[in-house]
Amino acid sequence: MRILIIGNGAREHIITERLSEDSSVLSIMSKKNPAIAKISEDYYICDITNTSEVKAWASGKNIDLAFVSPDPVLAVGMSDALEELGIPVASPSKDVADIECNKEFARSLMQDHLIPGLAEYRLITNEKEALSAIKEFNNSVAIKPIGLTGGKGVKISGDHFTNVNEGMSYVKELLLKDKKLLIEEKLKGEEFTLQAFSDGNSLVFMPPVQDHKRAFENDEGENTGGMGSYSTGKILPFMNESDLEKAKIIMKKTIDALKKERSPFKGVLYGQFMLTKDGPKIIEYNARFGDPEAMNVLSLLQTSLTDIFLGISEGKLPNAVFSSNSTVVKYLVPNGYPSKPIKDSPVSINLPCLSSKGTNMYYASVYEKDNQIFTTSSRAFALISSSKLLKDAEIKVENSMNCISGPLWHRKDIGTENLIDKRIKHMDKLRGEKK
Protein backbone atom coordinates (compact mmCIF):
# COMPACT_ATOMS: atom_id res chain seq x y z
CA MET A 1 0.00 0.00 0.00
CA ARG A 2 1.07 3.55 -0.79
CA ILE A 3 -0.62 5.87 1.70
CA LEU A 4 -0.68 9.67 1.69
CA ILE A 5 -0.80 11.44 5.06
CA ILE A 6 -1.42 15.19 5.28
CA GLY A 7 -0.18 17.06 8.37
CA ASN A 8 3.05 17.64 10.24
CA GLY A 9 2.61 17.56 14.04
CA ALA A 10 3.34 14.96 16.70
CA ARG A 11 -0.08 13.44 16.01
CA GLU A 12 0.85 12.93 12.37
CA HIS A 13 4.28 11.61 13.39
CA ILE A 14 2.76 8.66 15.26
CA ILE A 15 0.16 8.07 12.52
CA THR A 16 2.96 7.96 9.93
CA GLU A 17 5.05 5.69 12.14
CA ARG A 18 2.21 3.18 12.58
CA LEU A 19 1.29 3.20 8.88
CA SER A 20 4.92 2.68 7.89
CA GLU A 21 4.96 -0.68 9.70
CA ASP A 22 3.30 -2.31 6.70
CA SER A 23 2.90 0.41 4.07
CA SER A 24 4.89 2.97 2.12
CA VAL A 25 4.01 6.47 3.30
CA LEU A 26 4.06 9.74 1.37
CA SER A 27 3.46 12.96 3.25
CA ILE A 28 2.42 16.53 2.57
CA MET A 29 3.35 19.05 5.25
CA SER A 30 2.99 22.78 5.82
CA LYS A 31 6.52 22.76 7.21
CA LYS A 32 9.06 19.98 7.38
CA ASN A 33 8.75 17.69 10.37
CA PRO A 34 12.19 16.02 10.41
CA ALA A 35 10.87 12.73 11.79
CA ILE A 36 7.97 12.43 9.32
CA ALA A 37 10.29 13.33 6.44
CA LYS A 38 12.69 10.59 7.49
CA ILE A 39 9.93 7.95 7.59
CA SER A 40 8.31 9.01 4.32
CA GLU A 41 9.22 7.56 0.95
CA ASP A 42 8.55 11.02 -0.48
CA TYR A 43 7.27 14.30 0.95
CA TYR A 44 6.17 17.75 -0.21
CA ILE A 45 6.03 21.09 1.60
CA CYS A 46 3.19 23.48 0.71
CA ASP A 47 0.09 25.23 2.02
CA ILE A 48 -1.78 22.08 3.05
CA THR A 49 -5.14 23.86 2.86
CA ASN A 50 -4.57 24.57 -0.86
CA THR A 51 -6.56 21.78 -2.54
CA SER A 52 -5.22 22.57 -6.03
CA GLU A 53 -1.58 22.36 -4.97
CA VAL A 54 -2.12 19.17 -2.97
CA LYS A 55 -3.97 17.54 -5.86
CA ALA A 56 -1.26 18.57 -8.33
CA TRP A 57 1.46 16.88 -6.26
CA ALA A 58 -0.57 13.78 -5.38
CA SER A 59 -1.65 13.18 -8.97
CA GLY A 60 0.36 10.45 -10.66
CA LYS A 61 1.96 9.21 -7.41
CA ASN A 62 0.05 5.89 -7.53
CA ILE A 63 -1.47 6.52 -4.10
CA ASP A 64 -3.76 3.75 -2.86
CA LEU A 65 -5.23 5.53 0.16
CA ALA A 66 -5.11 8.94 1.86
CA PHE A 67 -5.68 10.22 5.38
CA VAL A 68 -6.25 13.92 6.01
CA SER A 69 -5.39 14.74 9.59
CA PRO A 70 -5.58 18.43 10.73
CA ASP A 71 -8.94 20.14 11.20
CA PRO A 72 -8.30 23.21 8.96
CA VAL A 73 -7.44 20.86 6.09
CA LEU A 74 -10.64 18.86 6.59
CA ALA A 75 -12.56 22.13 6.72
CA VAL A 76 -11.56 23.08 3.15
CA GLY A 77 -12.74 19.73 1.78
CA MET A 78 -9.37 18.06 1.20
CA SER A 79 -10.88 14.56 1.53
CA ASP A 80 -13.35 15.41 -1.25
CA ALA A 81 -10.56 16.87 -3.41
CA LEU A 82 -8.49 13.69 -3.14
CA GLU A 83 -11.50 11.51 -3.94
CA GLU A 84 -11.96 13.58 -7.11
CA LEU A 85 -8.54 12.24 -8.13
CA GLY A 86 -9.80 8.70 -7.57
CA ILE A 87 -7.85 8.29 -4.31
CA PRO A 88 -9.85 6.51 -1.57
CA VAL A 89 -9.76 8.38 1.76
CA ALA A 90 -10.09 7.36 5.40
CA SER A 91 -11.01 10.85 6.58
CA PRO A 92 -14.34 12.70 6.58
CA SER A 93 -15.80 14.79 3.79
CA LYS A 94 -16.33 18.53 4.22
CA ASP A 95 -20.04 18.25 4.90
CA VAL A 96 -19.66 15.87 7.85
CA ALA A 97 -16.45 17.50 9.13
CA ASP A 98 -18.88 20.29 10.00
CA ILE A 99 -19.47 18.33 13.21
CA GLU A 100 -16.22 20.01 14.31
CA CYS A 101 -15.98 23.05 12.08
CA ASN A 102 -19.45 24.41 12.86
CA LYS A 103 -20.56 24.19 16.49
CA GLU A 104 -24.00 25.50 15.58
CA PHE A 105 -24.51 22.54 13.25
CA ALA A 106 -23.23 20.07 15.87
CA ARG A 107 -25.65 21.40 18.50
CA SER A 108 -28.66 21.53 16.17
CA LEU A 109 -27.92 17.98 14.93
CA MET A 110 -28.00 16.64 18.48
CA GLN A 111 -31.12 18.63 19.29
CA ASP A 112 -33.04 17.69 16.12
CA HIS A 113 -32.24 13.99 16.51
CA LEU A 114 -32.88 13.89 20.28
CA ILE A 115 -29.33 12.74 21.01
CA PRO A 116 -28.58 12.64 24.74
CA GLY A 117 -25.66 14.50 26.27
CA LEU A 118 -26.51 17.93 24.88
CA ALA A 119 -25.69 20.87 27.15
CA GLU A 120 -28.17 23.74 27.42
CA TYR A 121 -27.15 26.35 24.87
CA ARG A 122 -28.29 29.51 23.12
CA LEU A 123 -27.33 30.69 19.63
CA ILE A 124 -26.39 34.35 19.95
CA THR A 125 -26.57 36.91 17.13
CA ASN A 126 -26.53 40.20 19.10
CA GLU A 127 -25.46 41.68 22.41
CA LYS A 128 -28.99 41.76 23.84
CA GLU A 129 -29.36 38.00 23.35
CA ALA A 130 -25.97 37.44 24.96
CA LEU A 131 -26.85 39.44 28.10
CA SER A 132 -30.14 37.58 28.37
CA ALA A 133 -28.42 34.18 28.06
CA ILE A 134 -25.74 35.01 30.63
CA LYS A 135 -28.48 36.08 33.05
CA GLU A 136 -30.54 32.96 32.29
CA PHE A 137 -27.55 30.72 33.16
CA ASN A 138 -26.90 32.71 36.38
CA ASN A 139 -23.57 34.09 35.06
CA SER A 140 -22.23 30.52 34.88
CA VAL A 141 -21.51 30.07 31.18
CA ALA A 142 -19.15 28.95 28.45
CA ILE A 143 -18.76 31.38 25.53
CA LYS A 144 -17.88 29.53 22.34
CA PRO A 145 -16.94 30.65 18.83
CA ILE A 146 -18.89 28.89 16.07
CA GLY A 147 -15.84 27.79 14.09
CA LEU A 148 -12.33 26.38 14.55
CA THR A 149 -10.04 27.90 17.16
CA GLY A 150 -7.34 25.25 17.68
CA GLY A 151 -8.79 24.29 21.06
CA LYS A 152 -8.10 27.76 22.49
CA GLY A 153 -11.24 29.80 21.74
CA VAL A 154 -13.67 28.84 24.50
CA LYS A 155 -13.86 31.15 27.51
CA ILE A 156 -15.53 30.02 30.73
CA SER A 157 -16.82 32.16 33.56
CA GLY A 158 -14.75 31.89 36.70
CA ASP A 159 -11.83 30.51 34.70
CA HIS A 160 -11.21 32.98 31.87
CA PHE A 161 -13.37 35.92 32.94
CA THR A 162 -14.76 36.99 36.29
CA ASN A 163 -17.69 39.30 35.54
CA VAL A 164 -20.37 40.06 32.97
CA ASN A 165 -18.46 42.99 31.47
CA GLU A 166 -15.43 40.79 30.73
CA GLY A 167 -17.70 38.13 29.24
CA MET A 168 -19.50 40.68 27.08
CA SER A 169 -16.17 42.03 25.84
CA TYR A 170 -15.45 38.57 24.38
CA VAL A 171 -19.00 38.33 23.02
CA LYS A 172 -18.49 41.61 21.13
CA GLU A 173 -15.20 40.33 19.73
CA LEU A 174 -16.85 37.15 18.42
CA LEU A 175 -19.87 38.98 17.01
CA LEU A 176 -17.57 41.33 15.12
CA LYS A 177 -15.65 38.36 13.71
CA ASP A 178 -18.32 35.71 13.08
CA LYS A 179 -21.70 37.51 13.51
CA LYS A 180 -22.80 34.76 15.91
CA LEU A 181 -21.61 32.53 18.76
CA LEU A 182 -22.82 30.01 21.32
CA ILE A 183 -23.41 30.60 25.01
CA GLU A 184 -23.83 27.40 27.01
CA GLU A 185 -24.36 26.38 30.59
CA LYS A 186 -21.06 25.88 32.42
CA LEU A 187 -20.70 22.15 32.93
CA LYS A 188 -19.23 20.89 36.20
CA GLY A 189 -17.32 17.63 36.22
CA GLU A 190 -14.29 15.93 34.72
CA GLU A 191 -13.39 16.06 31.03
CA PHE A 192 -12.49 12.98 29.02
CA THR A 193 -11.95 12.14 25.37
CA LEU A 194 -13.47 9.16 23.57
CA GLN A 195 -12.24 8.51 20.03
CA ALA A 196 -13.62 6.02 17.55
CA PHE A 197 -12.90 4.75 14.06
CA SER A 198 -15.98 5.07 11.85
CA ASP A 199 -16.88 3.65 8.44
CA GLY A 200 -20.11 5.64 8.38
CA ASN A 201 -22.22 2.82 9.79
CA SER A 202 -20.35 1.37 12.75
CA LEU A 203 -17.86 2.59 15.32
CA VAL A 204 -14.82 0.88 16.84
CA PHE A 205 -13.93 2.66 20.06
CA MET A 206 -10.47 3.43 21.39
CA PRO A 207 -9.58 3.64 25.10
CA PRO A 208 -10.76 6.87 26.77
CA VAL A 209 -8.13 9.52 27.50
CA GLN A 210 -7.92 12.59 29.73
CA ASP A 211 -6.20 15.61 28.19
CA HIS A 212 -4.79 18.58 30.14
CA LYS A 213 -5.36 21.83 28.25
CA ARG A 214 -4.38 24.28 30.98
CA ALA A 215 -0.81 25.48 30.66
CA PHE A 216 0.32 25.12 34.26
CA GLU A 217 0.20 22.59 37.07
CA ASN A 218 -2.98 22.16 39.12
CA ASP A 219 -4.94 23.12 35.97
CA GLU A 220 -4.04 26.79 36.12
CA GLY A 221 -3.29 29.26 33.34
CA GLU A 222 -4.70 29.71 29.87
CA ASN A 223 -5.79 26.96 27.52
CA THR A 224 -3.27 25.39 25.16
CA GLY A 225 -3.45 22.80 22.42
CA GLY A 226 -2.84 20.23 25.19
CA MET A 227 0.05 19.84 27.62
CA GLY A 228 -0.28 16.08 27.96
CA SER A 229 -2.67 13.23 28.60
CA TYR A 230 -3.05 9.80 30.15
CA SER A 231 -5.08 6.66 29.65
CA THR A 232 -5.42 3.40 31.53
CA GLY A 233 -6.29 1.28 28.52
CA LYS A 234 -9.82 0.73 29.86
CA ILE A 235 -11.88 3.27 31.76
CA LEU A 236 -10.38 6.29 33.49
CA PRO A 237 -10.00 6.23 37.29
CA PHE A 238 -12.89 8.66 37.93
CA MET A 239 -15.31 6.90 35.55
CA ASN A 240 -17.79 4.04 35.91
CA GLU A 241 -18.43 1.48 33.16
CA SER A 242 -21.91 2.98 32.69
CA ASP A 243 -20.37 6.41 32.00
CA LEU A 244 -18.35 4.96 29.14
CA GLU A 245 -21.33 3.08 27.71
CA LYS A 246 -23.47 6.23 27.73
CA ALA A 247 -20.73 8.13 25.89
CA LYS A 248 -20.54 5.38 23.27
CA ILE A 249 -24.31 5.56 22.73
CA ILE A 250 -24.13 9.33 22.23
CA MET A 251 -21.43 8.93 19.57
CA LYS A 252 -23.25 6.10 17.79
CA LYS A 253 -26.45 8.14 17.63
CA THR A 254 -24.40 11.05 16.25
CA ILE A 255 -22.97 9.13 13.28
CA ASP A 256 -26.46 7.73 12.59
CA ALA A 257 -27.80 11.29 12.55
CA LEU A 258 -24.99 12.48 10.26
CA LYS A 259 -25.77 9.68 7.81
CA LYS A 260 -29.46 10.59 7.78
CA GLU A 261 -28.95 14.34 7.51
CA ARG A 262 -25.84 14.58 5.31
CA SER A 263 -23.63 11.59 4.45
CA PRO A 264 -21.72 8.76 6.15
CA PHE A 265 -18.94 9.91 8.48
CA LYS A 266 -15.78 8.03 7.51
CA GLY A 267 -12.68 8.63 9.61
CA VAL A 268 -11.99 9.29 13.28
CA LEU A 269 -14.75 10.78 15.41
CA TYR A 270 -13.53 12.44 18.60
CA GLY A 271 -15.98 13.14 21.39
CA GLN A 272 -14.84 15.55 24.07
CA PHE A 273 -17.06 14.92 27.07
CA MET A 274 -17.66 16.40 30.47
CA LEU A 275 -18.58 13.72 32.98
CA THR A 276 -21.16 15.43 35.19
CA LYS A 277 -23.25 14.18 38.10
CA ASP A 278 -25.95 13.50 35.48
CA GLY A 279 -23.63 11.51 33.23
CA PRO A 280 -21.51 12.42 30.19
CA LYS A 281 -22.30 15.54 28.18
CA ILE A 282 -20.70 16.66 24.93
CA ILE A 283 -18.38 19.66 25.09
CA GLU A 284 -17.52 19.38 21.40
CA TYR A 285 -16.91 16.95 18.58
CA ASN A 286 -13.77 16.76 16.46
CA ALA A 287 -13.55 15.08 13.07
CA ARG A 288 -10.02 13.71 13.60
CA PHE A 289 -7.60 12.31 16.18
CA GLY A 290 -6.84 14.47 19.17
CA ASP A 291 -3.36 15.74 19.90
CA PRO A 292 -1.97 14.50 22.31
CA GLU A 293 -4.67 11.80 22.64
CA ALA A 294 -3.67 10.11 19.37
CA MET A 295 -0.37 9.12 20.95
CA ASN A 296 -2.06 7.43 23.91
CA VAL A 297 -4.32 5.26 21.79
CA LEU A 298 -2.10 4.54 18.78
CA SER A 299 0.74 3.40 21.03
CA LEU A 300 -1.67 0.76 22.39
CA LEU A 301 -3.09 -0.31 19.01
CA GLN A 302 -2.25 -3.93 18.19
CA THR A 303 -4.12 -4.03 14.86
CA SER A 304 -2.66 -2.75 11.58
CA LEU A 305 -3.60 0.91 11.18
CA THR A 306 -3.35 0.40 7.42
CA ASP A 307 -6.04 -2.29 7.58
CA ILE A 308 -8.26 -0.03 9.70
CA PHE A 309 -7.91 2.92 7.33
CA LEU A 310 -8.55 0.66 4.33
CA GLY A 311 -11.67 -0.69 6.04
CA ILE A 312 -12.88 2.86 6.74
CA SER A 313 -12.49 3.85 3.08
CA GLU A 314 -14.32 0.72 1.90
CA GLY A 315 -17.11 0.95 4.47
CA LYS A 316 -16.02 -2.35 6.02
CA LEU A 317 -14.42 -1.38 9.33
CA PRO A 318 -12.52 -4.25 10.98
CA ASN A 319 -12.28 -4.68 14.72
CA ALA A 320 -9.32 -3.04 16.46
CA VAL A 321 -7.44 -4.57 19.38
CA PHE A 322 -5.75 -2.38 21.99
CA SER A 323 -3.35 -3.25 24.79
CA SER A 324 -4.76 -2.69 28.27
CA ASN A 325 -1.58 -0.89 29.36
CA SER A 326 -1.61 2.63 30.79
CA THR A 327 0.02 5.50 28.90
CA VAL A 328 1.22 8.98 29.84
CA VAL A 329 2.08 11.75 27.38
CA LYS A 330 3.84 14.97 28.41
CA TYR A 331 4.63 17.79 26.02
CA LEU A 332 7.91 19.71 26.13
CA VAL A 333 7.24 23.32 25.15
CA PRO A 334 9.49 26.38 24.66
CA ASN A 335 10.26 28.58 27.66
CA GLY A 336 7.66 31.33 27.85
CA TYR A 337 4.95 29.18 26.27
CA PRO A 338 2.07 29.82 25.76
CA SER A 339 2.01 33.63 26.05
CA LYS A 340 5.61 34.58 25.19
CA PRO A 341 7.37 31.52 23.75
CA ILE A 342 11.06 31.76 22.94
CA LYS A 343 11.53 30.74 19.30
CA ASP A 344 14.49 29.49 17.26
CA SER A 345 16.32 27.91 20.20
CA PRO A 346 18.56 24.88 19.51
CA VAL A 347 17.74 21.65 21.34
CA SER A 348 19.68 18.40 21.73
CA ILE A 349 18.05 14.97 21.72
CA ASN A 350 19.69 11.85 23.14
CA LEU A 351 17.80 9.04 21.39
CA PRO A 352 19.71 6.18 23.09
CA CYS A 353 18.85 7.76 26.44
CA LEU A 354 15.13 7.82 25.56
CA SER A 355 15.24 4.23 24.35
CA SER A 356 16.98 3.01 27.51
CA LYS A 357 14.22 4.55 29.62
CA GLY A 358 11.38 3.02 27.61
CA THR A 359 10.09 6.31 26.25
CA ASN A 360 9.09 7.28 22.72
CA MET A 361 9.32 10.83 21.42
CA TYR A 362 7.26 12.49 18.71
CA TYR A 363 8.27 15.70 16.95
CA ALA A 364 5.64 18.42 17.04
CA SER A 365 6.39 22.01 16.00
CA VAL A 366 10.16 22.11 15.46
CA TYR A 367 12.40 22.59 12.44
CA GLU A 368 15.80 21.39 11.31
CA LYS A 369 18.65 23.50 9.96
CA ASP A 370 22.21 22.30 9.36
CA ASN A 371 21.47 19.04 11.21
CA GLN A 372 20.30 20.98 14.30
CA ILE A 373 16.74 20.93 15.70
CA PHE A 374 15.21 24.29 16.68
CA THR A 375 12.04 25.29 18.53
CA THR A 376 9.18 27.35 17.12
CA SER A 377 6.53 29.22 19.12
CA SER A 378 4.42 26.09 19.64
CA ARG A 379 4.70 22.72 21.37
CA ALA A 380 8.00 21.03 20.56
CA PHE A 381 8.08 17.33 21.52
CA ALA A 382 5.69 14.79 22.98
CA LEU A 383 7.17 12.10 25.22
CA ILE A 384 5.14 8.98 25.90
CA SER A 385 5.63 5.87 28.00
CA SER A 386 3.49 2.82 28.51
CA SER A 387 3.29 0.41 31.43
CA LYS A 388 0.85 -1.91 33.16
CA LEU A 389 0.46 0.57 36.01
CA LEU A 390 -0.28 4.23 35.37
CA LYS A 391 2.17 5.41 38.03
CA ASP A 392 5.00 3.48 36.37
CA ALA A 393 4.23 5.02 32.96
CA GLU A 394 4.28 8.49 34.53
CA ILE A 395 7.59 7.89 36.28
CA LYS A 396 9.18 6.61 33.05
CA VAL A 397 8.16 9.75 31.14
CA GLU A 398 9.33 12.06 33.92
CA ASN A 399 12.68 10.28 34.17
CA SER A 400 13.18 10.72 30.42
CA MET A 401 13.00 14.50 30.41
CA ASN A 402 16.76 14.83 30.94
CA CYS A 403 17.31 13.05 27.60
CA ILE A 404 16.41 16.32 25.87
CA SER A 405 18.26 19.54 26.61
CA GLY A 406 17.35 23.09 25.68
CA PRO A 407 15.13 25.96 26.85
CA LEU A 408 12.06 23.75 27.34
CA TRP A 409 9.59 22.99 30.13
CA HIS A 410 6.64 20.68 30.80
CA ARG A 411 3.77 20.06 33.20
CA LYS A 412 5.13 17.63 35.76
CA ASP A 413 1.79 16.73 37.36
CA ILE A 414 0.15 14.97 34.39
CA GLY A 415 -0.61 11.34 35.22
CA THR A 416 0.53 11.66 38.86
CA GLU A 417 -1.31 9.98 41.70
CA ASN A 418 -1.98 13.30 43.42
CA LEU A 419 -3.72 14.85 40.41
CA ILE A 420 -5.71 11.71 39.61
CA ASP A 421 -6.81 11.39 43.24
CA LYS A 422 -8.07 14.96 42.97
CA ARG A 423 -10.14 13.96 39.90
CA ILE A 424 -11.64 10.96 41.71
CA LYS A 425 -12.59 13.01 44.78
CA HIS A 426 -14.12 15.69 42.56
CA MET A 427 -16.42 13.18 40.85
CA ASP A 428 -17.27 11.49 44.16
CA LYS A 429 -18.31 14.87 45.53
CA LEU A 430 -20.47 15.70 42.51
CA ARG A 431 -22.18 12.30 42.60
CA GLY A 432 -22.77 12.76 46.31
CA GLU A 433 -24.46 16.12 45.67
CA LYS A 434 -26.89 14.41 43.31
CA LYS A 435 -27.90 11.96 46.03
CA–CA dist 267, 76 (Å, integer): 16
Last residue of a domain, one of 314, 335, 369: 314
Query: Is 406 found in the same domain as 371?
Result: yes
- Domain-located, residue 31: yes
Question: Residue 322 — very low, low, confident or very high, per pLDDT cuts 50/70/90?
Answer: very high
Question: Do residues 351 and 366 share a domain?
Answer: yes
Per-residue pLDDT of 378-425, as tens digits, reads 999 999 999 999 999 999 999 999 999 999 999 999 999 999 999 999
Give the residue from 273, 289, 314 where a domain finishes: 314
Provide the total of helices (H) and of strands (E) in the chain, helices listed first.
15, 24
Tell me whether residue 104 is in a domain: no
pLDDT score at 151: 67
**Residue 237 counted as domain residue:** yes
370 and 308 share a domain? no
Position 160 confidence tier, pLDDT thresholds 50, 70, 90: confident
Whole-prediction pTM? 0.96
Residue of 127, 326, 43, 348 whose CA lies nearest to 143: 127
Cβ partners under 8 Å of residue 48, min gap 6:
6, 7, 8, 28, 29, 30, 54, 70, 73, 78
3-class SS string, 26-63: EEEECCCCHHHHHHCCEEEECCCCCHHHHHHHHCCCCC
373 Cβ contact list (under 8 Å, min separation 6): 34, 346, 347, 348, 349, 363, 366, 367
Answer yes or no: is pLDDT of 298 > 80: yes
Question: Is the pLDDT reported for residue 199 higher than 70?
Answer: yes
Domain total in the chain? 4
Q: What pLDDT, on the 0 to 100 scale, is given for residue 184? A: 96
> Which CATH number goes with the domain that contains 144?
3.30.1490.20
Same-domain check for residues 308 and 201 = yes
**Beta bridge partner(s), residue 408:** 334
Same domain flag for 173 and 193:
no
pLDDT tens column, 102-131: 999 999 999 999 999 999 999 999 999 999
The answer to the question of residue 320 being in a domain is no
pLDDT reading at 149 higher than 90: no
Task: Clarify whether residues 49 and 155 are in a common domain.
Answer: no
Question: Would you say residue 114 lies in a domain?
Answer: no
Is 241 in the same domain as 162? Answer: no
CATH number of 207's domain: 3.30.470.20
Among 263, 288, 314, the domain-final residue is 314
Confidence (pLDDT) at 435: 61
Please give the full DSSP string across 71-90, using - where no structure is assigned. HHHHHTTHHHHHHHTT--BS
- Classify residue 100: in a domain, yes or no: no
Q: For the segment 58-101, what is each residue's pLDDT rounded down to a tens digit?
A: 998 999 999 999 999 999 999 999 999 999 999 999 999 999 99
The answer on 374 and 352 residing in a single domain is yes
Where does the pLDDT of residue 281 fall: very low under 50, low under 70, confident under 90, or very high at 90 and above?
A: very high
CATH of the domain at 414: 3.90.600.10
Which residue range forms the structural domain that includes residue 151? 120-185
The enclosing domain of 75 has a CATH number of 3.40.50.20
Based on its alpha-carbon atoms, the radius of gyration of the chain, rounded to whole angstroms, reads 21
Whether 245 and 260 share a structural domain: yes
CA-CA distance, 258 to 192, in Å (whole number)? 23
My answer on whether 193 and 308 are in the same domain is yes
Q: Based on the fold, state whether residues 273 and 236 are members of the same structural domain.
A: yes
Distance CA 208, CA 193 (A): 6
Q: Are residues 173 and 257 in the same domain?
A: no
Residue 376 included in any domain = yes
Q: What is the mean pLDDT of residues 282-287?
A: 96
Write the DSSP symbol of residue 384.
E
Q: Over the chain, what is the mean pLDDT?
A: 96
Report the side by side order of strands in the sheet with 2-6. 42-45, 24-29, 2-6, 65-68
In-domain check, residue 108? no
